[in-house]
Chain A
Amino acid sequence: ETGVTQTPRHLVMGMTNKKSLKCEQHLGHNAMYWYKQSAKKPLELMFVYSLEERVENNSVPSRFSPECPNSSHLFLHLHTLQPEDSALYLCASSSSGGNNEQFFGPGTRLTVL
């Protein structure tokens, strides 16, 4: 399998549930990103991992917890979410050289009831 994959593609959860989003890249990149895309706001950068270390956290609430166990995998652990967290969550990866183009996964459509 090639490119950036995300699972699940769709997720519906209650406010008290705990779930995790998974992202996997097969491009040999060393940086990975989580974005949130909602109807109200343009793409918002949430987290950046470079060489498996978090380098950016744009004031994201603690109910979102990222994990990057290796350069190919990125998780977003979710707990006690709010309905306003319903959005499309996009994962991306890039290398550190060249134009640093980010390759995006198809996203996970999250609905919080």
Chain B
Amino acid sequence: GEDVEQSLFLSVREGDSSVINCTYTDSSSTYLYWYKQEPGAGLQLLTYIFSNMDMKQDQRLTVLLNKKDKHLSLRIADTQTGDSAIYFCAESRVRGAGNMLTFGGGTRLMVKP
């Protein structure tokens, strides 16, 4: 079945690193994504990783994928107050021309000054 799980809440101090974790169950996932949602807004894609990769780095963001354990993490270096938001991980399978995403419940990141 399809199930994606995340912890509900993470609180860090400004300047520290944040690590948001996610576990998934579908081993046939092709891509895994991290989306950010700020209050009153839709979802914004932060980064993604292809399922045959172990790590991807993009400026302050580092994504680690442990395919054996079906574990995905997002590390934000030098976390800023503007990073406060809800972060969703999602796994995908392509069906026809549509890309089916299964989202986790979201992790609320609070950055304290």
Chain A residues near B (Cβ < 8 Å): 4, 6, 30-31, 33, 41-43, 45, 48-51, 55-56, 90, 92, 94, 96, 99-107
Contacts and interface: CB of A to CB of B under 8 A. Distances in A.
Contacts of B98: 31, 33, 48-50, 55-56, 94, 96
A42 B100 contact: no
Given A42-B103, A43-B88, A99-B48, A106 B42 contact: yes
A68 to B, nearest CB: 12
B99 A94 contact: yes
Nearest to A88: B42
B80 interface: no
A109 to B, nearest CB: 8
Contact of B97 (A43, A96, A99, A106): A96
Given A42-B104, A42-B106, A104 B95 contact: no
Contacts of A92: 43
Given A42-B104, A43-B103, A55 B95 contact: yes
Nearest to A10: B40
Contacts of A100: 31, 92, 94, 99
B97 A45 contact: no
Contacts of A49: 98
Contacts of B100: 45, 48, 56
